[in-house]
Structures are given as structure tokens and as C-alpha cells.
Amino acid sequence: MTRTNRLPRIAGALLLAIAFAAGIWFRFAGLARLPFWLDEAYSAYAADHGWYFLWHVVPTYETHPPFYYSLLHFWRGLFGDGTLALRIPGALCGVATIGAAAFAGRALAAALALRPHQRHWLVCAMAGLVALHPDLIAMSRDVRPYPVMALVYGAALIPLMRIAGARPALPHRPLAAYALCEALMLWLHSLGPLFAGAMGMALLAVIEMRRLDRRDWAWLAGSQVAAILVWLPAALILRDQAPTWIASTWLVFRPATLWQSLGLLYAAPPLRARWLGLLLALFGLALLVCDRRGRRIGFALGLLAIVPTAASLAITLAVSPVFLTRTLSAVALPALLVMTRGLALPGRMRFAMLLPLAALLWPMATVDRAILHAPPNEDWYGTIRWLAARARPGDELWAYPNESALPFVYAARDLGFGISIRAIPTIVPSIGARGMLPTGSRGVVSLYPDDIARLAASPQAQAPCTIWLLRTGPWTYDKGDAMLNALSRRREDVGDWEAEPIEIAGLRRAGGCPPSVPGRLAAAPATR
């Protein structure tokens, strides 16, 4: 190998190492600094239970299939249930996604028969953009299925590019790998069908149907039918839960923020980064369309990048809000692959593309640094420190709605704070309890006024010296402060805390209580 040929390889290896190092840093640094917020607590709570709960109880209140929670349960059995331990799988998936993206770039270069220096540049640019993509980083730091979805969606690009570059036959092993990725996407999230639908369309886009023989048609049809059949149990869960979700959901669609949300999905939030990402994507798509080898690939990548987002917006406008950037973060992978095609120009022109690449990476890195120092989504540690200075032995914390007990318990465990906790009306899920379902979850119930009155007059409400009423989103679950007012009739206010959406009201028994010392950050909390 000549010195001229070695230089691109050495430079490419160095750039890849830098991309991986940056990606690892932004995904792992301070990973346990913040407490679990509500959605993470739901994941941890499900993973804390056994297989029966995961596959028989979770489907009664969750729209999402229990597959991700099962993966997390398996990990928990090996490495524990601490905050850091449960966040590591997402961060690992985030780092693995960088590798999958680099291999996808290499497969694209091979399918397009690009020159070696273009291939090195495309692989490095793809790895760098994925390593610093803010939304992918933010999702990798949460205990949610989104980093797993991004990994699977990104990994699916590798067999897809190999299928697109195969001549003349349809390669069966890449096809089987692609069908496996489709099945995984279907099982990882309730919006998995949007991704799997886009994947099916992309597969049809890259295949030249006239070249297929009978055996190829059997493999193609069989792979897609197998993915659908594997998904059927999850489809039944979604069918059962969807009507409740549609009737009353907590999601609200804000059209005014759509442009910024799309920028976060595909590039970075700053306005210049949004426009630059769009221009690079259009330029890369133009290069693909103008290339005989890349025409089908460009169409397929466009489908993978756009269809899930467009479908979620259509469902949001026509049926019920489902558009959330975190649930759609995986669409960044095919979009970034299109952008990197626009950066991989031949000859000396590739050096001219350093400027737009740097202009996109810089705002990404700026947002990434802000992510590392961002305040918590929900300040449970601050809440518990406030409560620990005021709570006394014999006090109880009443969590209303019941789901607010979940992140509280995990944060209290992290800080070593103990207090008796009563989830109202029961611990999650409150299946069959009387009440309303204001956010579309069958496991979280808002009580009727007469049930609230009976609860406030019950012996259980008279026994504690002080009830610390914990509410999250009282404007949804405790409209008109019905629970707060009912408990206040026989008690006096001794302290209030608010860190949106968290609120705590201290309600001490009228006539006072025996003197005692404040609680300490010492023991694990009790729940009931």
C-alpha cells in the first residue's frame, strides 16, 4: 500500500476515534447526576417486577409492548437496579448506534461504488454527526426504549444498503437481518408500526422487482409475513389500549413549535443548524437521485426519514396527538446518511465540505454541552431534600395520582430518605378502581368527588400526624384542588413546595401532634 493510499485510512481512523470519544463522553458523563423522571420511573418500575407482571399486568395499562421492559429486567438481574446501572444500557446503545451508522455509511459507499477517499470521508462524517446529534444523545441518557429503537433503525440501514447494491440477485441473509430489525421496531414501541411501515416501503424501493425469480419472491414475501406474524401479540395490546388513549390523552400538539421540533429531530435546534441540515439533505438527495446506482437508495432513505414523522403528524391531526420528538428520534439516522452523501464529494472538493460539516457539528456540540448541565425534567432530589427537613416519624406521604409515587420512591432511595407512602387510590396500576382516566392510562385514576370525601373522612386519613400530599399535574388529576381541599378541612397547612409539575402540601392534624425530631436522609422508603 502506497503512502498516498495510507493517509486517508490513517486520517479516517483518527477521525473515527475522535467521533467515538466525543460520543462516549456526551452519553456517559454525569449519567447518574439527575433523578429518574416519571417516564424513566415507569421503565424502572416495570423492570423491578417478574415475568408474569411484565407480560400479563403491563399490557393492561401500557400501550407499549413489554419487550423493552423485559430487556431492562434482564439487565437489572445482572447489574442491579441503581440509577446509573439502569441508564447504562441506553448509553451503550447510543455508542453502538455510532458504530452502526459508520457501517451504514460504508455500505452506502459500496452500493454507490464511491472512490476510497470518498468512502472514508462519508464514514467519518456519518459517525461524527451521529456522535454529536443532540436528540440521539439526550435519548441515550434516559431509561426509555428510544436509544434501542435508534440502534435498530440505524443497524437496518446496513442490510438495506447491501440489498440495494446487490446485482443481480436478492441477497437472502441481508433480507433476513432487515426483517429482524422490522420485527424489533414493531415490538419496541407503540409507534413501531410507523417505522416498520417505512422500512417495508424502503425495502420495496431498493429492490428491482423484474430481476426477482420465484425463490427471491418467496424470501421477500416470507420475511415480511414473518415480521408481521411475530408482531401480532403486540398489535393486540395496541388495539386494546388505543381507544382509551384516544379518548383522553395527556399529549398536546403545538403547531407553532413544529419547525423547531423538526430541527431537533433531524439536525440541531438552532435556526442556522436547521437550515444547513435541510440544505445538506437536499444536496445529498440530489446527488443520489442523479446517480443511476443511487436513485432507489435516495428514495428509500427519504421514506425512512420522512414517513414515520409524517404519519405521526397525520395521526395527530386526524385522530389523537402522538407526535413527540423523543419517540421519533430514530428518523435522524437515515436523514444524516443522506446529508453525509452530500458531504462526500470527489477529489479536492471534499475539503470544501469541511466548512458546512463544521458549521453543523459546532451547534450540535454546543447543545450537547448544555444537555450535560441541564436541570432535571422533574426536580425529585430537591423535593425530597425539602421534605426531609420537615417530615417527622409517623408522617405519611400521599401520592395523587398514584404514578407520582414512582419517581419519588427511586429518588428517595438514591438519597436514603424514608417515609411511609400511600399511592392514591392504589399503587400502579389502579386497574378497576372507580374514577376517571384523564391522561388515557388505565393504571392512573382520578377519583370522583364523593370517593375523595369518603377517603378524607376515613380512619386512614385521621391517623397520620401530618399528611404530605404529593401531586403531579394537579390541573389534570386534582381539578379544583378537590383532594387538597378535602384533606384540609380537618388539618392545617404547615408548608408548601412547588417545582413544576411537582407540588407538595403539608397538612398537619388540627390540635397539633406530639413533639418529635425531623426525619433524616437515612432509610429506604416504604410503600403501600
CB 298 within 8 A of CB 117: no
Category of 332 on φ-ψ map: left (φ > 0), alpha (ψ -120 to 50) or beta: alpha
**Hey, which residues does 493 pair with through a beta bridge?**
507
Which pLDDT score, from 0 to 100, does residue 3 have?
52
d(CA 346, CA 282): 18
Comparing 135-144, 242-251, 260-269, 453-462, the range with the smallest average pLDDT is 242-251
**Hey, which residues does 505 pair with through a beta bridge?**
469, 496
CB 229 within 8 A of CB 339: no
The CA-atom distances, in angstroms, between 128 and each of 22, 124, 440, 453 are: 8, 6, 40, 59
Residue of 309, 283, 344 whose CA lies nearest to 127: 344
CB 482 within 8 A of CB 438: no
Q: What is the pTM of this model?
A: 0.94
Q: What is the 3-state secondary structure (H, E, C) of 467-505?
A: EEEEEECHHHHCHHHHHHHHHHCCEEEEEEEEECCEEEE
Cell numbers representing residue 502 in the block: 411537582
Helix axes 38-47, 83-111, angle to 10 degrees: 100
d(CA 124, CA 107): 13
CB 177 within 8 A of CB 161: no
- The SS3 of residue 52 is helix
What backbone torsions phi and psi does residue 166 show, to the nearest 5 degrees?
-75, 135
Summary mean pLDDT of the chain? 92
DSSP 368-390: HHHHHTPPPSS-HHHHHHHHHTT
- For the residues 41-64, what does the mean pLDDT come to? 96
CB 142 within 8 A of CB 90: yes
Which pLDDT score, from 0 to 100, does residue 427 have?
96
Instruction: Give tens-digit pLDDT for 483-518.
Output: 999 999 989 999 999 999 999 999 998 877 766 545
Q: In what order do the strands lie in the sheet with 502-509?
A: 491-499, 502-509, 466-472, 396-399, 420-423, 526-527
With a cut of 90, say whether residue 369 has pLDDT above it: yes
With a cut of 90, say whether residue 348 has pLDDT above it: no
With a cut of 90, say whether residue 167 has pLDDT above it: no
